Amino acid sequence: MKNTIPRAARPASNHPQSAAEPSADFAISYHGTLSLFRPLTDSATDWLRLHCPDDGEHSYFGKALAIEHRFVAGIVRLATDDGLISATGNQGRN
C-alpha cells in the first residue's frame, strides 16, 4: 500500500532540533522516591554549584543532584526564573 501523505506533510522523525527550539539545560528523571536533576550545559552546572552546592546538605549522584520528588517543582521554578530550561524524562516512573 502506497503512503498517500505527501512527504512535506508527514511528521518529521529523526530530524535534528530546529534552531528555533531551545535545547534543555537540565534533564530530570524519576526513580521511585528520588529524582535526578542532571545538568546538560555549562550554565546549568554553574547554576547548580551556586544554588545547590555539594556541601553536605545536597546529595549528588555523579553530576546529577539527587532530590526527593517533592522538591522538583520548586527547583524547576527557580531554574526557569533564572532563564534555564528543563526537559523531563520518565525513566523509572511507572
Amino acid 79: pLDDT: 93
Q: Which residues contact 56 (CB under 8 A, 6 or more apart)?
A: none
Q: Which residues contact 70 (CB under 8 A, 6 or more apart)?
A: none
- Model confidence at 1: pLDDT above 60: no
Amino acid 90: pLDDT: 43
Domains belonging to the chain, first-starting first, are: 24-88 (3.40.1170)
**33 vs 8: which has the higher pLDDT:** 33
Amino acid 39: pLDDT: 95
Q: Is the whole-model pTM more than 0.75?
A: no
Cell 520528588 identifies what position? 69
pLDDT tens for 22-73 read 689 999 999 989 999 999 999 999 999 999 998 888 999 999 999 999 999 9
